[in-house]
Amino acid sequence: MLNPHKCWFSILLLSVVAVPFASADSISLGNAFALQNNAFTRVELSSHPGIPLSPSFDAPPFQTSLDIGVPLTGVVPDGARDTLVITSLILGNTLTQQYPIPVQTYPPPGSTSFAVLFTFQYPSGIYHPKPVKLDISILDGSSQTLSSASYVFTFVEPAPEPTTLVLLGTGLAGTLAAKMKRRR
C-alpha cells in the first residue's frame, strides 16, 4: 500500500524541480501604429485600415520616412531566441527589418507599455496615395511563427501647395531686387 505522505512529498518535489524548466514562450504582438505629424499623432493601423499616411517627420532628410511602432506583451524566457520581423511592400519594393527580442517580460516591470519602433525610408516623389502592405511576425529560434499580423494602408508625400511656391518665389525675387538696388 502506498504511503500518502510519500506520495504528496513526491508530487511536491516533482513540481518544484520541473516547473522552472517548463517556462513557455508567450510573447505576442499588440496593435501596430504609425507616427504622424512629427510624432505627435499616433494612428492605430488595425482600427484604420487603408488610411492614407504621410511621412512621420516633415523636416529634411525625413520627408519619405514612416515610423511604425510594434507593441509587445508577454514573456521571452531564458534561452529563447525570438525575433521580430517586419516587412513593408510598396511599389513592388520589399523592405524588411529584424529585431532580436531580448529575454524579459513585456512590458518591463514599472512600465505600462513597450513598443519597438521601426523606420521605413520609402522612395521619394510619391504624391498620389500608393498601397503599402505591412507584415509583422514574431519567430522563435527555429523560425516557427509565434504571432503575426498584417496591415494595409496608403502612403503619400505632401506636395508643396501652389501658394507656398508663389510665396517662396516672391520672397526670392524681393531679396534679389533688394541686393541689386544696393549695388547701384
- At 91-141, the pLDDT tens digits run 999 999 999 999 999 999 999 999 999 999 998 888 889 999 999 999 999
pLDDT band with cut points at 50, 70 and 90 for residue 6: low
Q: Could you tell me the fold of the domain covering 23-183? A: Coagulation Factor XIII; Chain A, domain 1 (2.70.50)
Query: Could you tell me the three cell numbers for 161?
Result: 501647395
pLDDT band with cut points at 50, 70 and 90 for residue 18: very low
Taking the C-alpha atoms of residue 184 and residue 180, their distance in angstroms, rounded to an integer, is: 7
pLDDT band with cut points at 50, 70 and 90 for residue 170: confident
Q: What is the CA radius of gyration of the chain?
A: 26
Judge contact between 55 and 62, C-beta under 8 A: yes
Q: Looking up cell 506583451, which residue turns up?
A: 73
Give 150's contacts (C-beta < 8 A, 6+ positions apart).
133, 134, 135, 136
- At 77-89, the pLDDT tens digits run 999 999 999 999 9
For position 15, what pLDDT does the model report?
45
For the chain, domain boundaries = 23-183
What average pLDDT does this structure show over 139-167? Answer: 85
Query: Could you tell me the three cell numbers for 34?
Result: 504609425
C-alpha dihedral sign at 37, 38, 41, 43: positive
Instruction: State the DSSP string of 117-153.
Output: EEEEEPPS---S-EEEEEEEEEE-TTS-EEEEEEEEE
Q: Helices in the chain by DSSP H: which ranges? A: 4-18, 162-183
- At 34-87, the pLDDT tens digits run 999 888 899 999 999 999 998 888 766 667 889 999 999 999 999 999 999 999
Q: Looking up cell 505632401, which residue turns up?
A: 158
What average pLDDT does this structure show over 151-174? Answer: 80
For position 17, what pLDDT does the model report?
42
